């Protein structure tokens, strides 16, 4: 599994638990994920930004109907 896929899964999980993280910039999300133990090391900022865009695009699907 690539680092982008791992980051994406972690971002989706974090968004579902802490809704206030949805509006954070990718670098802010990296720092929070690292400090909360979601990742062992910080991913490249470009990879994080790509994963965040995908996770944000998936967001409406997570909402209850």
pLDDT digits (tens, 9 = 90+) for 4-25: 777 778 888 887 787 788 788 8
At 51, the pLDDT band (50, 70, 90 cuts) reads confident
At 44, the pLDDT band (50, 70, 90 cuts) reads confident
Global pTM value: 0.61
The dihedral built from the CA positions of residue 43, 47, 53 and 55, taken in this order, carries a sign that is: negative
Closest CA to 39 of 49, 52, 30: 30
6/55 Cα distance (integer angstroms): 12
Closest CA to 38 of 60, 61, 17: 17
Token pair belonging to 31: 């720092």
At 29, the pLDDT band (50, 70, 90 cuts) reads confident
């Amino acid at each position: 599994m690539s680092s982008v896929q791992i980051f994406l899964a972690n971002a989706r999980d974090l968004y579902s638990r802490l809704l206030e993280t949805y509006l954070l910039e990718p670098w802010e999300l990296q720092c929070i994920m690292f400090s909360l133990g979601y990742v062992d090391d910080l991913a490249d900022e470009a990879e994080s930004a790509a994963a965040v865009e995908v996770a944000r695009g998936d967001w409406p699907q997570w909402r209850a109907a």
